Amino acid sequence: MTRVVVPVRYPLSKHSRATLEEAVRIARERDAELTVLHVDLYQSNRGVTRTDLKRAVEREFGPLVRARYVVRKGFLVEETILEEVAAEDADIVVIGSKQASRWRRMLRRFLDDPDIDMFLREKLEATVITVRADH
């Protein structure tokens, strides 16, 4: 079964809602499992729970079939997302354009060519779909 991972902010921002909307569409279209991920940074520790995340998503989109809600603690959002994508063995990662640019900056530290789509495809075998909030 296809697995789609979508990292979002909590509370849901305009960008997170747009990204989530696309992830939900893809998951429904492909009859896929959807993992909605929020990274709660250690340094800000907002105490976000899976229940908080699920309620916020369901307020916007209604109950979702085959959806998991995951809150991970981490120091770096991008690194924690990559770890979750690998752990889930995700086929598709749907990220906002803001997140993509942060990933590029992070990867620039490690790679000569910070092509996030190519990096994820090679390292994690995942397709990355980038969503702009103004679509």
Separation between Cα atoms, residue 5 and residue 93, nearest integer Å: 5
What would the two tokens of residue 29 be?
Answer: 């279209």
| pLDDT number for residue 115 | 62
Per-residue pLDDT of 52-105, as tens digits, reads 999 999 999 999 999 999 999 998 888 888 889 989 999 999 998 877 677 666
| Statement: residue 26 has pLDDT above 70 | yes
Amino acid identity, position 68? R
Query: Which domains does the chain show, CATH number per domain?
Result: 1-129 (3.40.50.620)
23 or 107, higher pLDDT:
23
45: left (phi over 0), alpha (psi -120 to 50) or beta: left
d(CA 36, CA 70): 6
Q: Mean pLDDT, to the nearest integer, of 41-51? A: 90
- The C-alpha angle with vertex 90 and arms to 114 and 98, in degrees rounded to 5, equals 45
